[in-house]
Amino acid sequence: MPNVKELKNKYDAIIIGSGGTGLTAALQAHELGLNVVVLEKNEKTGGNTSRASSGMNASESLVQLDEGIIDNNQDFYNETLKGGGLLNDRAMLKYFVDHSAIAISWLMKYGVRLTDLTITGGMSKKRAHRPGSMEPVGFYLTSRLTNQVKKSGVDIFTGAKVTKLLQDKSNKVNGVEVTTEDGVKTIKAKAVLLATGGFGASKDIIKKYRPDLVDYKTTNQPGATGDGMKLAKEIGAQLMQMNFIQVHPTADTDNPHVYLIGEGLRGEGAILVNKNGDRFVNELSTRKIVSDAITNLHEDGAYLIFDSGVRAHFGAVEFYDQIGLVQHGDTLEELAKKIGVDGYNLNETVERWDKAVENHKDKEFGRTTGMDRQLDRGPYFAIHIHPAIHYTMGGIHINTDTEVLDTNGNVIKGLYAAGEVSGGLHGNNRIGGNSIAETVIFGRQAGIQMAKYAREHGKK
């Protein structure tokens, strides 16, 4: 990374944050001729995006057609709307769905090849695109995009925390104040993008909007403290739906570092069982429903159960195993003994599940997806999981052009926001695979709109 001493006084666009949104916006804006800089407060790039592990949702993609999957945007729209409790911003959702397939193709151009498909909760088709190597999508995406941004000549400065948005006399945003190890510096720009992520690691903000969740652990990286929302609010931006905080049903919270166990594991066929060895929910209902079902057991979480066949289709398990999160058993009885679950019942549960897969009918809980393979290939595996704070659906109010709106609904000129820092797209519950999609789709849109704005104001 370049030394902060090399920070210039002026750029066409300043991008705050280097997760999926910031990196995508930087590449797209650079493609369109802007002189861009990325400012990241953490010591490394990637943000929360680098922790994502399921996939990137898109409909009507070339990858789907290559696999013989005939999908349509309207279904993706309807299922996301239903999953969000009909509280999604309709215009944003339509833009999102309609630009999802092209985002997959655009990434290919930069060597980010999401050529494998899986399914996530609330979806009827395989829409979650992920790397063919099965490595977790988030790190794959951010590491490659970081390299592409550097290769394009765009500077990323880490350890650079933006503390203030600057405005001219007409209230247009025209720069930032940034604090680095060399002190505070003022940088001017035609446009500024907030790509700072959510507030899942901010106890203060969670306490303000959702005191009931203040004791939950979080899957977020420690830097997800709502900085962008605070910066925007200081200059009159509107925050919306801040009480909509998503709890992810499956996280390993037994260690000081909380690990998200990706939804794709259930998408490939894993089931959830309680202490009695019984299933208790459709594992691929929306995250809200599954999380509530686990919490209502009052049994110190639950267990994900899967076999070698499922493991072979979800590469992130290798990582989970390496760090000690996975219990092994040559038989289900042996596994049950290790995790303190009723072995007889677990055997019966898996037998019933295998029959449901064979008949394509889950009589017990009505699960219709993630039923491609039976759990019949030893050895068997279990991961102990609890729900954890995962995603903040609310945030800065933006329009489909990623322009930030003030409390009167007027555009704050020169200021853009995209990704988890913004609110509205997901309603009251985000569908798995939609956050990575949001970072790329609206990251591109922010890059495009900043370029358009800079061109229009270039002569002024």
Residue 100 dihedral angles phi and psi, to the nearest 5°:
-75, -45
User: How many angstroms separate the CA atoms of 357 and 178, rounded?
Assistant: 56
Residue 403 dihedral angles phi and psi, to the nearest 5°:
-75, 140
> What are the start-end ranges of the H helices in 40-116?
62-66, 73-83, 90-98, 100-109
Residue 332 near residue 318 (C-beta atoms within 8 A): no
Per the listing, tokens 């019966």 go with 348
DSSP H or E stretch at residue 147:
helix 137-151
Please name every residue paired with 157 in a beta bridge, in sequence order, or none if there are none: 39
DSSP H or E stretch at residue 205:
helix 203-209
Of the candidates 287, 311, 367, 444, the residue annotated as catalytic is 287
Task: Give, in degrees to the nearest 5, the angle at Cα 415 between 412 and 417.
Answer: 115
Per the listing, tokens 């002569």 go with 459
Render 275-288 in DSSP notation, one character per residue.
TTS---S-TTS-HH
User: How many angstroms separate the CA atoms of 190 and 29, rounded?
Assistant: 12
By CB atoms closer than 10 A (0-12, 13-18, 19+), residue 340 is: exposed
User: How many angstroms separate the CA atoms of 406 and 197, rounded?
Assistant: 19
CA distances in angstroms from 73 to 20, 118, 123, 127, listed in the order given? 23, 17, 12, 11
Query: Token pair of 346, please?
Result: 């677990």
What angle, 0 to 180 degrees and rounded to 10, lies between the N-to-C axes of helices 73-83 and 90-98?
Answer: 140
Q: How far is CA 345 from the centre of its chain?
A: 35
- Nearest Cα neighbor of 268 from 458, 426, 120 is 120
Query: Token pair of 245, please?
Result: 């905080």
Query: Token pair of 338, please?
Result: 């290790």
The helix/strand/coil state of 201 is coil
Mark whether 287 is an active-site residue: yes
Query: Token pair of 178, please?
Result: 């940034």
Q: How many helices (H) and strands (E) does the chain have?
A: 15, 20
Residue 346 near residue 300 (C-beta atoms within 8 A): no
Residues annotated as catalytic are: 287
